Amino acid sequence: MLVRHASLVSDAVQPRIARLGPRPLRVHSVFRSAINVATSDGLLTVAAPGAGGLPNGIAADLGRDWRMIGVRPGMTVHASRTAVRIPGARLEIRLTAADGWSPRIGAIQVGAAETARRWRRRGPTAWTIARARSNAGGLGALLRQDGLPGGQAPFVDRARPMLAALTAALESGDRGSAASAAEGLIGLGPGLTPSGDDALVGIEAALHALGRPTAGFLVGAAHDLDERTTAVSATLLRHAVAGEFAERIHALLAALLGSDDAAIPAAIDRAVAWGATSGTDCLVGVLLGLDVAAGTERTAR
């Protein structure tokens, strides 16, 4: 039995494992540096430490290419408070030595008005940097406005008016209309986490960070998620509704809302480096969300 120690476990994971009880789970999918485990309550993800904290995640180092360590979709998984075991691959990931990590983005209590004011001042600069540094795939086209190679464009054309309707609804504080506007974005676009979902997660993160009453609006759109988007995305959307986000989104918001202007370019570079288009898609959502939450006048972009 190969034993590895997880380095980080999301605070949202342990209660979930407890809720699931001793029933065996199944490997859902295996990637170069991640393994997803299907549960009746969404996916649990074991990912390489490089991915940072994930709301549904356990961080562990299982080698250079996890597709080659004998773990296959459908294999039985036993998860307990102390370990995740995949007997078919002779693999045990111990959780006992791992640090806990909270995926919650709580509202900034002190200085929220000042933070919003700061965003109104620096938002345009952040948009400019994002425009220059994001990649062109996915919703990156909304930043660029410079046309796109075939393939992806129809998604963008469809997403554009939906995002406009969504931000308008959020600006007027109308959770119901915001939820209906978000419906069409769920499952829309390329990637394992479709672009529309990534943007919605970003918007929710921004609303949570600035403590807007519209935070959590997605709950009204997040029904039947398993029929409407991929399992990975459905899981992350459910966490977003609960105010739980990946560590990289925490880091992006910390930089965008922090006191150091100079930290923004590097933070945006790191944000867009995530996955193929997911990083850019989420960044678009975060920027839109911050504009809405801080009451920034948006100009045509």
By rule CB under 8 A, what count of residues binds other proteins?
Answer: 59
Cα gap 24→22, rounded to integer Å: 6
Instruction: Confirm or reject binding of residue 223 to other proteins (CB under 8 A).
Output: no
Instruction: Confirm or reject binding of residue 158 to other proteins (CB under 8 A).
Output: yes
- The site string for other proteins over 88-127 (x = CB under 8 A, - otherwise) reads ----------------------------------------
Locate 62 and state its tokens: 């299982």
Sheet holding 83-86, edge to edge: 2-5, 91-94, 83-86, 76-79, 25-31, 34-39, 42-47, 57-59, 8-10, 99-101
- Shortest Cβ distance from residue 108 to other proteins (Å)? 27
Instruction: Confirm or reject binding of residue 68 to other proteins (CB under 8 A).
Output: yes
Instruction: Confirm or reject binding of residue 132 to other proteins (CB under 8 A).
Output: yes
Instruction: Confirm or reject binding of residue 61 to other proteins (CB under 8 A).
Output: yes
Q: Where in 240-269 is the site for other proteins (CB under 8 A)?
A: 262
For residue 299, the 8-state DSSP code is: P
Which residue, 203, 201, 212, is CA-closest to 115? 212
Task: Name which position in 21, 50, 147, 213 contacts other proteins (CB under 8 A).
Answer: 50
Q: Which is nearer to other proteins, 209 or 255 (CB)?
A: 255
Instruction: Confirm or reject binding of residue 36 to other proteins (CB under 8 A).
Output: yes
Instruction: Confirm or reject binding of residue 53 to other proteins (CB under 8 A).
Output: no
Task: Name which position in 18, 24, 41, 67 contacts other proteins (CB under 8 A).
Answer: 67
Compute CA distances 203 → 40, 90, 126, 166, 240, whole Å.
27, 41, 16, 10, 9
- Shortest Cβ distance from residue 279 to other proteins (Å)? 10
Which residue, 46, 53, 14, is CA-closest to 30? 46
